[in-house]
Amino acid sequence: MRPSHLRALPRALALAAAAALLGCPPPDQGQPVSTGLGGQADKIAADRGLTPDDVAAALKTYMPSGRLDDHVMFASSGHAGQVLVIGLPSMRLLRSIAVFTPEPWQGYGVGGKESMEVLAGGASDGKQLTWGDTHHPSLSETNGSYDGQFLFIGDKANARVAVIDLRDFETKQIVKNPLATSDHGGAFVTPDTEWVIEGGQYAAPLGQGTYADIAEYDAKYRGYVTFWKFDRARGRIDVERSFGMELPPYWQDLADAGKGVSDGWIFMNSFNAERATGGVEQGKPPFEAGASQRDMDYLHIINLKKAAEVVARRGVKINGFTTIPLQASIEEGLLFFAPEPKSPHGVDVTPGGEYAVVSGKLDPHVTIYSTKKLFEAAAKGSSNKDPYGVPILDFDAVVEAQVELGLGPLHTQFDDKGYAYTSLFLDTAVARWTLGGPYADKHKTTPWTLVTKTPVQYNIGHLSTVEGDSATPGGGWLVAMNKWSIDRFFTTGPLLPQNFQLVDISAPGEVMPVVYDLPIGVGEPHYAQIIRADRLKPWEVYPEVGWNPMTGKVDPNATAKGKERVERRDGVVEIWSTVVRSHFTPEHVKVRQGDKVIWHLTSLERARDATHGFCIGGYNINLSLEPGEYASFEFVADKPGVYQFYCTEFCSALHLEMVGYLMVEPAGANK
């Protein structure tokens, strides 16, 4: 490594790198290590140069073949646009869930009509998008606890939210926010999943497609937050009953829903209270300097319960989307600010809803607000107003405590022992600290105190504990989502994977070791949630043969064995196929060049894991037909020739024989 690299590295990493340069020895090779497990284990440990701590870590995470993980993590994959499903404690990648980006293995967005319609639902102002920037997955909740039914995920780049059904782990809906081009990829649910909160980020004229020069920033640019109404029975967001709120042009960041004693309220950070407008090319301060001048930004405190009542009276339409204007929010008492230090990023509400924990990226403390004090101060009102007339509550009247943790605090999660855990980006560490109030009383801990820090490799963004943002957090495990992995893995060229590190937080006190490194080589995960596996009740196969995953019932075009057929009418060929080990029926399909082809496929399989694929090379089509699934596609056979359609899943001994011929007769050829 060249020394010039060191300057860009965080301190802990630089020290580690310096140690490497100085030639610190690798782990003892061949030294006898007592694992306490006896001869063979001791010999393997010695041969591999493993320390007793390494052996303990291996024993905590190793899953013998066939043993199932007891926790499941849903992680975003950043600008890969998908969700990753990972088992804990083994840290095995179980699968991805295609969301915003076409994914051929799942037959998602590669010709199949059903998934193409989901992606089309997320078109931006008529433009079809083929990727997203997923940041924050959010599991559905009942009474504040994960219920294992649905997963929501936001797309920062395009201001969208997707709904995934956890019975089949498939994306069912993508909604595009008409208010904005981008957001912060936030998706945060209220305790009964009535609302999915999507916060904005970089202010712009409200309503995608609305123009105003940046010179008019203060007057014409606005922030926003959107409350998507979730219809649990239908498993879809109800756009008609959703609404947005206009906010001042600060850069709103993450949000969290109140719960328990703060149910009905929303807490949302913002930064760039300076309203910096950049322009480094004109000699103005770049955003990074302009947006970091002030010591305080504004925590937004929003009365969602009241807003949901007020919206019918005060809402206006922006791009057809119901929105409460800023002035109405002020008049109706829906919106309050509390000062928050300094360029904050995460806001996280404690399990019982008593406190909101804010991390200022440029402040070494976490600041803990009492939600009770916030509501009392809001009820009293304030004569102190921001330039747009929003009341600013008195900092000292609403803050419960501040805890100094270290440099670059970002995000906080909780456990079942009265601890909070905060990621420290610049320190590249996880801090464990004690909550106060009822948590300290219950767990007999010293309130609001830093307990310990564990270094992570390197540059941690989010962290996730077991159900750690819910009303009923578990304990045991924490996953550090590290942006850099520099010296942890084989160098895969200049682009390196990110690093998920599993941290054992089961023991109270100061010992909190890293026990596993999982390279993530398919995208930058931002946030993840960990759920107890027994809360998930996924289908093993689709409930009935011919099941259309998008309608949630047997499709009218599903085909029974023996009912396969090809019908021709003016310029249209429609095919009803069945799929079962190891053949398609029919195997010969003849069309004429220029015909529109409509093809229905029904998997007759009832055996678990007996998935078939169906591809047509040259026509960009690939489906995945899970047991019992119905899928379809349409295309114009505009190229003549002979096209093999074959099964893309190695489904059986005679999988290679699972093939057919699509013959596209040239136009003008004799019939």
Quick one: 412 or 548, whose CB is closer to ligand K7E? Answer: 412
Instruction: Report in angstroms how near the CB of residue 643 gets to ligand CUA at its nearest.
Output: 17
Quick one: 133 or 595, whose CB is closer to ligand K7E? Answer: 133
Instruction: Report in angstroms how near the CB of residue 102 gets to ligand CUA at its nearest.
Output: 21
Instruction: Report in angstroms how near the CB of residue 360 gets to ligand K7E at its nearest.
Output: 13
Of residues 582-641, which lie at the interface with ligand CUA (CB under 6 A)? 582, 612
Residue 298: C-alpha distances to residues 326, 336, 411, 474, 503 (Å) = 15, 9, 17, 31, 33
Residue 250 region by backbone torsions, left for phi larger than 0, else alpha for psi between -120 and 50, else beta:
beta
Instruction: Report in angstroms how near the CB of residue 625 gets to ligand CUA at its nearest.
Output: 8
Instruction: Report in angstroms how near the CB of residue 583 gets to ligand CUA at its nearest.
Output: 8
Q: How many CB atoms lie within 10 A of CB 120?
A: 13
Strands 630-636 and 641-646: unpaired
Q: Is 483 in the site for ligand CUA (CB under 6 A)?
A: no
Q: Is 651 in the site for ligand CUA (CB under 6 A)?
A: yes
Contacts with ligand K7E by CB under 6 A lie at 135-136, 184-185, 254, 345, 410-411, 461-462, 526-527
Q: Is 649 in the site for ligand CUA (CB under 6 A)?
A: yes
Quick one: 393 or 615, whose CB is closer to ligand CUA? Answer: 615
Q: Which does 347 bind (CB under 5 to 8 A by kind): ligand K7E, ligand CUA, none?
A: none
Which residue's structure tokens are 């399989």?
A: 605
Instruction: Report in angstroms how near the CB of residue 657 gets to ligand CUA at its nearest.
Output: 9
Strands 621-625 and 630-636: unpaired
CA 176 to CA 180: how far, in whole Å?
A: 9
Report phi then psi at 232, rounded to 5: -65, -35
Segment interacting with ligand CUA, rule: CB under 6 A, options 173-181, 207-215, 543-551, 650-658: 650-658
Q: Is 655 in the site for ligand CUA (CB under 6 A)?
A: yes
* Sequence-ordered list of residues with C-beta below 8 angstroms from that of 525, at least 6 positions apart, any chain: 75, 76, 77, 78, 84, 462, 481, 498, 500
Which H or E run contains 54? helix 52-61
* Structure-block tokens of residue 546: 């011919």
Of residues 21-50, which lie at the interface with ligand CUA (CB under 6 A)? none
Residue 418 in 3-state DSSP? coil
User: Which residue type sits at 467?
Assistant: E
Q: Is 176 in the site for ligand CUA (CB under 6 A)?
A: no
CA 663 to CA 336: how far, in whole Å?
A: 67
Instruction: Report in angstroms how near the CB of residue 111 gets to ligand CUA at its nearest.
Output: 17
Contact pick of 73, 197, 301, 658 for ligand CUA (by CB under 6 A): 658
> Residues 401, 345: contact at Cβ < 8 Å?
no
Quick one: 76 or 624, whose CB is closer to ligand CUA? Answer: 624
Quick one: 292 or 648, whose CB is closer to ligand CUA? Answer: 648
Q: Which does 612 bind (CB under 5 to 8 A by kind): ligand CUA, ligand K7E, none?
A: ligand CUA
Residue 570: C-alpha distances to residues 374, 441, 567, 577, 596 (Å) = 69, 78, 10, 21, 9
Quick one: 557 or 582, whose CB is closer to ligand CUA? Answer: 582
- Our measurement of the distance from residue 222's CA atom to the centroid of its chain's CA atoms, rounded to an integer in Å, reads 25
Instruction: Report in angstroms how near the CB of residue 652 gets to ligand K7E at its nearest.
Output: 43
Which H or E run contains 149? strand 145-155
Segment interacting with ligand CUA, rule: CB under 6 A, options 48-56, 224-232, 407-415, 648-656: 648-656
Which residue's structure tokens are 């059903």?
A: 114
> Residues 547, 628: contact at Cβ < 8 Å?
yes
Strands 588-592 and 659-665: parallel
Q: Which does 373 bind (CB under 5 to 8 A by kind): ligand K7E, ligand CUA, none?
A: none
Instruction: Report in angstroms how near the CB of residue 612 gets to ligand K7E at its nearest.
Output: 38
Q: Which residue is nearest to ligand CUA (CB)?
A: 647
> Residues 615, 646: contact at Cβ < 8 Å?
yes
Quick one: 48 or 581, whose CB is closer to ligand CUA? Answer: 581
Radius of gyration of the chain (CA): 27
CB-side neighbour CA atoms (13 Å) of 230:
31
Quick one: 62 or 650, whose CB is closer to ligand CUA? Answer: 650
Which residue's structure tokens are 């998706």?
A: 187
> Residues 612, 651: contact at Cβ < 8 Å?
yes
Quick one: 331 or 609, whose CB is closer to ligand CUA? Answer: 609
Segment interacting with ligand CUA, rule: CB under 6 A, options 24-32, 56-64, 468-476, 645-653: 645-653
Quick one: 502 or 647, whose CB is closer to ligand CUA? Answer: 647
Q: Which does 658 bind (CB under 5 to 8 A by kind): ligand CUA, ligand K7E, none?
A: ligand CUA
Enumerate binding residues for ligand CUA (CB under 6 A).
Answer: 582, 612, 647, 649-651, 655, 658
